[in-house]
């Protein structure tokens, strides 16, 4: 009886560890942890501050060119004030949702 309880306990511990590893791996992939973004707009100052907001059409072009060079596809674009959100797809699957700051020219993950 004790031996059976130990094997069930060991199995549950293994199941918990495997679940944690799978959850962490899937959440980092969805959140873009393996994909670091940068200052992608080189006409802003050294500290990433532009004099004026980047126009909406130009911000879309910047996002498209940045991700197409990485062989990723840009999905829907959402304009929200000074920010532009975009869905990024890789092989037809949602890879990340990014936020482009029209004041600084920086891209970051929304997650």
Answer yes or no: are the C-beta atoms of 94 and 74 closer than 8 Å. Answer: no
In this structure, the answer to whether residues 68 and 94 fall within a common structural domain is yes
Which range marks the domain in which residue 3 is found? 1-31
Average pLDDT of the chain to the nearest whole number: 77
Instruction: Report the alpha-carbon distance of residue 40 to residue 107 in Å, rounded.
Output: 7
Tens digit of pLDDT for each residue in 26-66? 554 444 444 556 556 666 666 666 778 888 999 999 899 98
Kindly report the number of other CB atoms within 10 A of residue 100's CB atom: 25
In this structure, the answer to whether residues 15 and 44 fall within a common structural domain is no
Task: Please state the pTM of the whole predicted model.
Answer: 0.61
User: How many domains, the chain?
Assistant: 2
Tens digit of pLDDT for each residue in 61-103? 989 998 988 889 999 999 999 999 999 999 999 999 999 988 8
Q: Is 99 helix (H, G, I), strand (E, B) or coil?
A: strand
């Amino acid at each position: 009886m004790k031996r059976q309880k130990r094997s069930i306990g060991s199995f549950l511990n293994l199941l918990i560890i495997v679940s944690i590893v799978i959850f962490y791996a899937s959440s980092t992939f969805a959140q873009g942890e393996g994909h670091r973004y940068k200052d992608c707009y080189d006409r802003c100052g050294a500290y990433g501050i532009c004099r004026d907001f980047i126009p909406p059409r130009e911000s879309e072009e910047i996002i498209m060119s940045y991700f197409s060079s990485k062989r990723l596809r840009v999905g829907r674009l959402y304009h929200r004030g000074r920010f532009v959100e975009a869905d990024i797809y890789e092989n037809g699957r949602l890879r990340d949702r990014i936020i482009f700051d029209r004041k600084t020219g920086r891209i970051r993950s929304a997650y």
